[in-house]
Amino acid sequence: MFEGLQKKWKVSGWRLFLILIIFALAGSLTGYVARKLVATLGVEHIVPYILLYVLLLTIVWPLAVLTVSLPFGQFPFFRTYLARLFNRIRGRHTAEKTSSAGTSKRIVIFASGAGSNAQKIIDHFRHSAVSVSQIVGNRADAGIVSIARREGIPFLLIERERFFRGDAYLPELDPAADLLVLAGFLWKVPAPLIEAFPRRIVNIHPALLPRFGGKGMYGSHVHTAVLQSGEAESGITIHYVDGHYDNGDIIFQAACPVLPGDTPDGLAARIHALEHLHYPPTIEKLLNEQP
């Protein structure tokens, strides 16, 4: 059992020992506080007493866990643990409310950087039947890791060798995912992943494809190339992912002007605005079109 918890929570044996102690202490503290509160309120009849006691346990326990975790240095773990717990409860509640309208959808986000597009996608679907079931990243220090932790979404850190020459992490990806969404993910998607999710992997590119795409064309490299070419406009392209860089069928495009005296950073800011505006609703449209 303990080995299973270590693997599930990805903690050392000593840290697991601390976590279990915190659970025990927080449970005792919760019971004590709840009993004191019920006694203060002067509830005597057994049924109201039990109902109030259970309600207070539910409210006090998360606060007790976070409080007890502080001196043990485990506050970040329990903050993430509680966020995931509440997200699961909220997800089940949302699924129950929307079940009459159809089956809920699941998406997996792949990201390599700060994760601003990922955050917009998460926010867009926060109160819908669509859930972000997993986030995948290839950098342990990227901003997307903090987003996954804060949102309580399972995060999978991948490494190059296994991704490109192994099983592409297929056994660890959400098998029920309806769509894989690349949001600033800089690695090329390997063939096993494309074959496992045919026409269910989408990417957003910061230019108007088919121009300014291909290997090495990402971020400021794209914007610099657009400015050097003298183009009058740039934009975004949302497209399906196939076996080549920026080559899959185009789903949606939106344009913005290239202004006189533009810099890569200035153009990037307008491109980001287009990405945040159009990527989430385009993903929603694709999910709605699926059987």
Using alpha carbons, select from 172, 239, 153, 154 the residue that is nearest to residue 204: 239
Give the model confidence (pLDDT) of 171-189 as tens digits: 999 989 999 999 999 999 9
Residue 97 has pLDDT above 60, yes or no: no
- Sequence-separated (6 or more) residues with CB below 8 Å from residue 178: 105, 106, 107, 200, 287, 290
Return the axis-axis angle of helices 13-41 and 75-98, rounded to nearest 10°.
Answer: 70
What is the average pLDDT across 264-272?
95
Of 289, 193, 282, 288, the closest CA to residue 239 belongs to 282
Catalytic residue among 45, 93, 124, 205: 205
What is the secondary structure of 21-75 as a DSSP string? Answer: HHHHHHHHHHHHHHHHHHHHHT--SHHHHHHHHHHHHHHHHHHHHHHHHTTTT-H
The CATH code of domain 105-289 reads 3.40.50.170
Q: According to the model, what pLDDT value does residue 83 have? A: 76
Beta bridge partners of residue 250, listed in sequence order: 239
Provide the percentage of residues in the chain whose pLDDT is more than 90: 64
The neighbouring-strand residues paired with 110 are 136, 182
Q: Quick one: three-class SS letters along 68-85?
A: HHCCCCCHHHHHHHHHHH
Residues of the chain with CATH 3.40.50.170: 105-289
Known catalytic residue at 223: no
What is the per-residue pLDDT across 194-245, written as a single tens digit (0 to 9) for each? 999 999 999 999 999 999 999 999 999 999 999 999 999 999 999 999 989 9
